[in-house]
Structure 1
């Protein structure tokens, strides 16, 4: 596929192709799970450093402190400053070394989690993720997405292992605005589309090898679970309820999508997301909202059956995800910006090159421009109004 998934050094012998799957050491999910964090953390380290922003700490801090104290662990907390930049990551490395922590714990969203994974790796200690929302599949993976100070995609960083523990409190997720869960659905729906493309092209995955049957199957399972459960789960979360559908969607957004994207493969959808981060107009959108535009664009690039594209537009509109350029702050007349997005999405090493056919920047621009009329027509025919979009960082 590219340098992003285990490229070879110039002059070195070509490595023997292998299939591989990677995963976190332990995954824990359930209502009230955060009250047992200390219990699951104690076997991993004796001197944890908790990293969280002030908003998240305001509603989980008491439970985290109580849980750690009950397990005989010290409570040290460091504030996360909002964007996983190289500077913020290096700052956290310094804090880890100053405190003598032997495990760093991310409590929060995908940005906090990526910064913690990167800083834990650089500091040479273990890392744990405790997502406060189910808006991305970052909690389970052995990579981090690093952004510029302006919020544009900068690079992927890959690590030799996944988190030692992923702990998800489903009641905490249900207490958050439903828009976060909807964004996670957008991120997770891409998993099967991209794994399917990677399997067809027999490209390398983020795990550093060819896709396994297991990784691809988990990606498809994530897709199936979401189509069956996303809408009732979102209804329940709007009332802050944890139901079986909510539990299934949390697992699909976090574990199944995480394993599926990493060991099943990424393709056009996430590359287009990365390109969209170069457009200032899209900086206020959540990760999964931009990914949904990428997924729809990938379907168009593939020449997918019209019925499949129509179903995807209708379903993701009902979920509350964008399907037009207008909804992400762009228009078909923003040719210069769309060309920038397309160039960034197709740079050497991007995951779009895992598609089973060649995709150029001009192809991406055409597909993006075609979204507006196509999605509006499909929604008009289905009697669907445009979704009300939540705006957040990453």
Structure 2
């Protein structure tokens, strides 16, 4: 027969009382026996006749114990049940709340008694874990919905172009145009899937599979050059990209670091009015890369969500990109034991990437200062 926790606690309480009674009663009876023997020995030594019923007190004490002990144990069991019921009340309330809660929402909070005891400590810890789980669940749902939205657009376009092309006979130019659109949307779809894969690897802790020592100056210089070409190809011919370097060496994956830098550059180019400045510096153990633009800056209401996934300045999502660049860059920075943060600025936006690094001594020349101007 399965006993409840309350019954187990009551039995343990009653058993403790029974043991205490046995020990106490045994000690009392032992003292009475020793006292009776000492009196008998004293009477014999003084040639006095000992009492006939020298152990009468012992028998009376034993009889009293036999009467009182069962009543005390029964009372202890009842008292134990009452105390256990009161002590386990928060647990029963937690069980009722858990039974009523929906697993899909994790809308559960464990009750506290206000006694600052072990239960309150456990409930506080579990409530914090549940709050984190609810936040993760909400982020996962939002991520899934946003990913489905972003995937739907290129897929719908590809299907639409294919249906139009197959509806009737088309000329070569019409087919070329349809295939060009399919190619563009396919590339956009591949870019999105690659970004989602990178974020999934970051969540799993497998983003940084291999590491090597590389020059951060070279990584940034190549990234700036590629960004300059993309700015020119996108019609931003008047955009200037300025890069001030250092002599930092970082341990990590150069491809991932290039991607993080280029995401920051693409974001800056997208919002800059005419100039993007990239500055490298450090303090001997940490390399700092600052990417600043002269654009309109970041709206204050967007700053708390700036590094979340699928967050973009335009609510209609009609602009460039997927809103994943900053999230991926921060994930890459954290995989390299670094950080990526937004820094307040009087004008434009400033992002600062910090990475553990070693610095080479200058070889007779100051750090390079390059200004790239598209055009």
Query: Is the TM value for this pair above 0.5?
Result: no
Q: Which TM-score band applies after superposition, normalised by the shorter structure?
A: under 0.3
Higher-Rg structure is 2
Higher relative contact order (CA 8 A, sep 6+): 1
